[in-house]
Structure 1
Amino acid sequence: MILAGDIGATKTLLAIYNSSTMQPLVQYSYSSTAYAHFDELLQTFLHKVNKPHIAAMCLGVAGPVLAGSCQTLNLPWTLHVNKLQQQTHCMRVQLLNDLEAMGHGIQHLSPTDYDCLTPELPAQQGNIALLAAGTGLGEAFLYWDGSQHHVIATEGGHTDFAPQTELEIELLRFLQRQYQHVSYERLLSGVGLFQIYQFLCEYDKQAEEPEITRQLQTVPDPSALISQFAMTRHSVLCTRALDIFMQIYGAEAGNMALKVLSYGGVYLGGGIAPKILTALQTSYFLQAFRAKGRYQVINAKIPVYVILNQQIGLLGAAWYAKTHL
């Protein structure tokens, strides 16, 4: 049996897979913040599934993995391969960056697991770029060697935000008053969408509808509500915030496409893209994706996909355990 996991700042998925059929036998979702340490969560899971014999274990973790260890960026957790080996009595254990796990999952998606934003472009072989906006922004790419893909993890979501318009320059200045370093993750994340909205409230000096303001102040995730109000056109400010979010997302996806020449496609993962799919299908995202001056002729040939399967990280971790461990 294979133990696979997808560890995020918001939730953690753990599952036991049959290594022959690659079907999950049992799967549980946990609130990550409910546990002080990952080993507590893992112990809870192992007790619930009656401590099965585990032949291989792979966990995708939101953070950089170095020498078999990972200090998660948005949780007070540190994971070590040797400690996991002791806890599970399994010697074949691997930690992957969460986007690296997603990259392995891309290769096992079915056609119903994603939506193509560029149906006019045929699928091609080549490098693949992967971006996932959710609690944070993850980035990875898949190198094509002529016969297979090799997944390479990055921390590209933490690179410097590069504004492209006068309005985005003012947005950068707004964020610089709050943060020492303004990365793409500050904007292309759940918190980022809310910060774009807050910036517009200050910049436009336009009053929001009182009922919308009240709802945004009382919900635990105002960004989700902003996107809902934007797509239903219930709020001018929410609509503008989502438009700016899509333009920045498109620009950074286009940057990634050029950096790795991802003729095999750009894939958008994470929890945000499927929720704003109808908005992504409009022109804002693709216009920014292709607006690369002389090199727009390259990005105009690159297909873009939205991953709909929210368990791609778990799927990728399971397949990595089967094929590499």
Structure 2
Amino acid sequence: MQSQAAGPTAYLTHSACSMHEMGKGHPECPQRLAAIQDRLIAAGLWDYLWHLEAPSATRAQLLRVHDAAYLERLSLMVPAQGYVHLDPDTAINPYSLRAAYHAAGAGVAAVDLVMSGRAQNAFCAVRPPGHHASRCKAMGFCVFNNVAVAVAHALAEHWLGRVAIVDFDVHHGNGTEDIFHGDERVLMVGIFQHPFYPYSGDPPLAGNMLNVPLARGSTGTALREAVNAHWLPALEAFRPELIVISAGFDAHLEDDMSSVGFVEADYAWITRQLRALALHHAGGRIVSMLEGGYDLSSLGRSVAVHLKELGGF
């Protein structure tokens, strides 16, 4: 059961997120969300979460991080049937843009929940993911930068001066870095396999970006070394008022999308470190948003341990 010290953990999703799909065999598939739900039920965690329907982001919320011309271009590209490709890896079907609006809206709602104290932390089980999307371009399965929308909302509507972004996806969050590099209100810390798609992040674009590239074949030992030597000292010095996580689970040993070998214990460990830091500096406030993770079994198991640690279950 949840500890007395912890508030409720909110779980935000929307049915539209399962209607977005990019063609047979695409790894970023609707079954990802079903695999997470099934594992949370099997692990006995489902009933301890506060389940909420994610709202749609507004145009004004998206315009904080995306160009107006990009939003207009997307609205004109939605197909009546079939698919339209936004880049070689990223397609939209007739339902995708609605899913993308709800994916971004989940982060906004989650920020409001934790900033109001109604939830101590939140997990957004949404797709399409977001951290590769830049101000004016979709890429790498991502349409809107969900984490960036959430962070910009926290800065604008909750008047925060220090928000930390933590990205442990196996791919560098190039879109998030594009949006926030040089913004001293934001510290972004990340690990990623390098060299690897999208072949960026080393060197970082600005001093508020702390990127730790990991070599092919790295395990959880390398993750822990990076966190202890680089992330935690920087985060402690920054004293974030809110932590927003790009929670990608595609660095798992069983995920053939990458060549890095994390396991569930590694995701549990990093979540414990972030929760402790949030409790010390940010009143426990964490918003975690799903990014990658394409092996369905390891994705479900990894999200389960992530939520178990977030909620103090």
TM-score (norm 2): 0.33
**Which one has the largest radius of gyration?**
1
Give the structure with the higher percent strand. 1
Q: Which has the higher helix share?
A: 1
